Protein backbone atom coordinates (compact mmCIF):
# COMPACT_ATOMS: atom_id res chain seq x y z
CA UNK A 1 0.00 0.00 0.00
CA UNK A 2 1.32 3.49 -0.84
CA UNK A 3 2.52 5.51 2.15
CA UNK A 4 0.53 8.77 2.44
CA UNK A 5 2.71 11.71 1.50
CA UNK A 6 2.14 15.44 1.57
CA UNK A 7 3.29 17.78 -1.17
CA UNK A 8 5.19 20.06 1.22
CA UNK A 9 8.01 18.96 3.47
CA UNK A 10 7.88 19.53 7.21
CA UNK A 11 10.65 19.43 9.82
CA UNK A 12 10.07 16.54 12.21
CA UNK A 13 12.13 16.10 15.38
CA UNK A 14 12.53 12.54 16.63
CA UNK A 15 13.69 11.56 20.14
CA UNK A 16 15.74 8.37 20.36
CA UNK A 17 16.41 6.32 23.49
CA UNK A 18 17.74 2.89 24.41
CA UNK A 19 19.04 1.10 27.48
CA UNK A 20 19.19 -2.53 26.29
CA UNK A 21 21.38 -4.61 23.97
CA UNK A 22 24.18 -2.13 23.18
CA UNK A 23 22.22 1.15 23.34
CA UNK A 24 24.81 3.16 21.47
CA UNK A 25 24.74 0.73 18.51
CA UNK A 26 20.92 0.70 18.62
CA UNK A 27 20.86 4.48 18.24
CA UNK A 28 23.50 4.62 15.49
CA UNK A 29 21.60 1.98 13.48
CA UNK A 30 18.28 3.73 14.08
CA UNK A 31 19.67 7.06 12.86
CA UNK A 32 20.83 5.33 9.69
CA UNK A 33 17.36 3.81 9.28
CA UNK A 34 15.67 7.19 9.82
CA UNK A 35 17.85 8.58 7.02
CA UNK A 36 16.57 5.82 4.73
CA UNK A 37 12.84 6.32 5.33
CA UNK A 38 10.88 7.03 2.15
CA UNK A 39 9.96 10.69 1.71
CA UNK A 40 12.41 11.72 4.46
CA UNK A 41 15.85 13.36 4.56
CA UNK A 42 17.98 13.39 7.70
CA UNK A 43 19.02 17.00 8.31
CA UNK A 44 20.91 16.71 11.59
CA UNK A 45 21.36 14.58 14.63
CA UNK A 46 22.61 15.46 18.08
CA UNK A 47 25.46 13.89 19.96
CA UNK A 48 24.69 10.73 21.88
CA UNK A 49 24.12 11.36 25.60
CA UNK A 50 24.33 8.99 28.55
CA UNK A 51 21.35 9.82 30.77
CA UNK A 52 20.16 8.73 34.19
CA UNK A 53 16.91 6.73 33.93
CA UNK A 54 13.83 8.78 34.66
CA UNK A 55 10.95 7.05 36.40
CA UNK A 56 10.17 4.67 39.24
CA UNK A 57 11.94 1.57 37.85
CA UNK A 58 15.60 0.86 38.66
CA UNK A 59 17.22 0.11 35.32
CA UNK A 60 20.42 0.70 33.34
CA UNK A 61 21.47 4.13 32.16
CA UNK A 62 19.97 5.23 28.83
CA UNK A 63 21.59 6.59 25.70
CA UNK A 64 19.50 9.41 24.18
CA UNK A 65 19.71 11.62 21.12
CA UNK A 66 17.49 13.72 18.88
CA UNK A 67 17.38 13.72 15.07
CA UNK A 68 15.63 16.09 12.70
CA UNK A 69 14.23 15.06 9.33
CA UNK A 70 12.50 16.85 6.56
CA UNK A 71 9.57 14.65 5.70
CA UNK A 72 6.75 14.40 3.23
CA UNK A 73 5.07 11.72 5.31
CA UNK A 74 1.92 12.62 7.20
CA UNK A 75 2.29 12.52 11.01
CA UNK A 76 0.54 9.15 11.26
CA UNK A 77 2.56 7.66 8.40
CA UNK A 78 5.76 8.88 10.04
CA UNK A 79 4.65 7.45 13.39
CA UNK A 80 3.96 4.11 11.69
CA UNK A 81 7.43 4.18 10.11
CA UNK A 82 9.03 4.91 13.52
CA UNK A 83 7.15 2.01 15.10
CA UNK A 84 8.34 -0.24 12.26
CA UNK A 85 11.96 0.66 13.05
CA UNK A 86 11.31 0.00 16.77
CA UNK A 87 9.93 -3.44 15.92
CA UNK A 88 12.99 -4.20 13.76
CA UNK A 89 15.07 -3.49 16.88
CA UNK A 90 13.13 -6.07 18.85
CA UNK A 91 10.97 -3.55 20.70
CA UNK A 92 7.79 -5.05 22.03
CA UNK A 93 5.09 -2.52 22.94
CA UNK A 94 3.43 -4.49 25.72
CA UNK A 95 2.03 -1.48 27.55
CA UNK A 96 4.90 -1.49 30.08
CA UNK A 97 5.48 2.26 30.43
CA UNK A 98 8.59 2.49 32.55
CA UNK A 99 10.65 -0.58 31.72
CA UNK A 100 13.94 -0.90 29.83
CA UNK A 101 13.81 -0.91 26.03
CA UNK A 102 15.97 -1.69 23.01
CA UNK A 103 14.71 1.37 21.14
CA UNK A 104 12.25 4.15 21.70
CA UNK A 105 11.51 6.55 18.83
CA UNK A 106 9.27 9.44 19.83
CA UNK A 107 7.80 11.89 17.36
CA UNK A 108 8.49 15.09 19.30
CA UNK A 109 7.58 17.83 16.86
CA UNK A 110 6.02 17.89 13.42
CA UNK A 111 6.51 21.44 12.20
CA UNK A 112 4.41 23.64 14.47
CA UNK A 113 1.49 21.24 14.47
CA UNK A 114 -0.63 20.67 17.54
CA UNK A 115 -2.61 17.47 17.27
CA UNK A 116 -4.42 15.06 19.52
CA UNK A 117 -5.26 11.67 18.04
CA UNK A 118 -5.51 8.24 19.66
CA UNK A 119 -1.86 7.19 19.92
CA UNK A 120 -0.35 10.48 18.81
CA UNK A 121 -0.19 13.84 20.58
CA UNK A 122 1.87 16.67 19.07
CA UNK A 123 4.04 18.15 20.38
CA UNK A 124 5.02 15.11 22.46
CA UNK A 125 3.24 15.79 25.77
CA UNK A 126 6.17 14.76 27.99
CA UNK A 127 9.00 16.49 26.17
CA UNK A 128 9.05 19.69 28.23
CA UNK A 129 9.55 17.61 31.40
CA UNK A 130 12.46 15.56 30.07
CA UNK A 131 15.96 17.00 30.12
CA UNK A 132 17.10 13.88 28.24
CA UNK A 133 15.02 15.20 25.31
CA UNK A 134 15.59 18.97 25.73
CA UNK A 135 19.40 18.83 25.99
CA UNK A 136 19.99 16.98 22.67
CA UNK A 137 17.15 18.93 21.03
CA UNK A 138 18.83 22.23 21.97
CA UNK A 139 22.02 21.02 20.29
CA UNK A 140 20.39 20.83 16.83
CA UNK A 141 17.39 23.16 17.02
CA UNK A 142 17.44 26.72 15.69
CA UNK A 143 17.77 29.46 18.29
CA UNK A 144 14.40 30.52 19.67
CA UNK A 145 12.60 27.29 18.80
CA UNK A 146 9.05 27.40 20.12
CA UNK A 147 7.38 24.23 21.32
CA UNK A 148 3.72 24.92 20.51
CA UNK A 149 1.64 25.00 23.68
CA UNK A 150 4.65 24.39 25.94
CA UNK A 151 6.99 27.40 25.58
CA UNK A 152 10.36 28.25 24.13
CA UNK A 153 13.07 25.63 24.24
CA UNK A 154 15.64 27.78 26.07
CA UNK A 155 13.14 28.60 28.84
CA UNK A 156 12.00 25.00 29.20
CA UNK A 157 15.60 23.83 29.42
CA UNK A 158 16.54 26.47 31.99
CA UNK A 159 13.64 25.28 34.15
CA UNK A 160 14.91 21.69 34.32
CA UNK A 161 16.96 20.75 37.36
CA UNK A 162 17.68 17.21 36.11
CA UNK A 163 20.28 18.29 33.52
CA UNK A 164 23.10 17.00 35.73
CA UNK A 165 22.31 13.38 34.95
CA UNK A 166 23.07 13.99 31.28
CA UNK A 167 26.52 13.81 29.71
CA UNK A 168 27.61 13.63 26.09
CA UNK A 169 29.30 10.35 25.26
CA UNK A 170 33.01 10.91 24.49
CA UNK A 171 32.85 9.66 20.87
CA UNK A 172 29.11 10.18 20.35
CA UNK A 173 29.43 13.44 18.42
CA UNK A 174 27.81 13.61 15.00
CA UNK A 175 30.11 13.14 12.02
CA UNK A 176 29.75 13.57 8.26
CA UNK A 177 26.41 13.92 6.54
CA UNK A 178 24.41 13.34 9.69
CA UNK A 179 26.10 16.20 11.51
CA UNK A 180 24.43 19.56 12.17
CA UNK A 181 23.22 21.15 8.94
CA UNK A 182 22.80 24.80 8.00
CA UNK A 183 19.17 24.36 8.96
CA UNK A 184 20.15 23.90 12.54
CA UNK A 185 22.87 26.54 12.78
CA UNK A 186 22.38 29.23 15.38
N1 LIG B 1 14.90 7.82 31.04
C2 LIG B 1 15.89 8.27 30.26
N3 LIG B 1 16.98 8.81 30.82
N4 LIG B 1 15.84 8.19 28.91
C5 LIG B 1 14.78 7.65 28.28
O6 LIG B 1 14.76 7.59 27.02
C7 LIG B 1 13.70 7.18 29.06
N8 LIG B 1 12.59 6.64 28.50
C9 LIG B 1 11.57 6.25 29.22
C10 LIG B 1 11.54 6.35 30.73
C11 LIG B 1 11.29 4.99 31.33
C12 LIG B 1 10.45 7.33 31.10
N13 LIG B 1 12.80 6.84 31.27
C14 LIG B 1 13.81 7.29 30.47
O15 LIG B 1 10.50 5.77 28.62
| Domain span including residue 14 | 5-174
- Taking CA atoms only, the protein residue closest to ligand 1 atom 5 is 17
Q: Which of 43, 45, 101, 130 is catalytic?
A: 101
- Taking CA atoms only, the protein residue closest to ligand 1 atom 6 is 17
pLDDT of residue 127: 97
User: pTM to 2 decimals?
Assistant: 0.91
For the segment 112-149, what is each residue's pLDDT rounded down to a tens digit? 999 999 999 999 999 999 999 999 999 999 999 999 99
Domain assignment present for 132? yes
> Is 160 marked active-site?
no
Q: Is 17 in the pocket of ligand 1 (CB under 6 A)?
A: yes
Domain assignment present for 183? no
Under 8 Å CB-to-CB from 1, ≥6 apart: which residues? none
For the segment 13-58, what is each residue's pLDDT rounded down to a tens digit? 999 999 999 999 999 999 999 999 999 999 999 999 999 999 888 9
Percent share of the chain, pLDDT over 90 = 75
Contact status, residue 130 vs residue 145, Cβ threshold 8 Å: no
Q: Is 55 in the pocket of ligand 1 (CB under 6 A)?
A: yes
Domain assignment present for 186? no
Q: Is 49 in the pocket of ligand 1 (CB under 6 A)?
A: no
> Is 104 marked active-site?
yes
For the segment 156-166, what is each residue's pLDDT rounded down to a tens digit? 999 998 888 89
> Is 106 marked active-site?
yes
Domain assignment present for 128? yes
Contact status, residue 172 vs residue 62, Cβ threshold 8 Å: no
Domain assignment present for 179? no
- Taking CA atoms only, the protein residue closest to ligand 1 atom 11 is 98
Q: Is 113 in the pocket of ligand 1 (CB under 6 A)?
A: no
Looking up residue 59, the CATH number of its domain turns out to be 3.30.70.560
Q: How many domains in the chain? A: 1
Amino acid sequence: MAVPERRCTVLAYIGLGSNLDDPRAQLCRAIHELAGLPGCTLRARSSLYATAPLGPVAQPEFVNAVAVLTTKLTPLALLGALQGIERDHGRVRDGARWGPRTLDLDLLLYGDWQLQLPGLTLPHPEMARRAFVLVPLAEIAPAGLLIPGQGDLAGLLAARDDRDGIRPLPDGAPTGAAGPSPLSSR
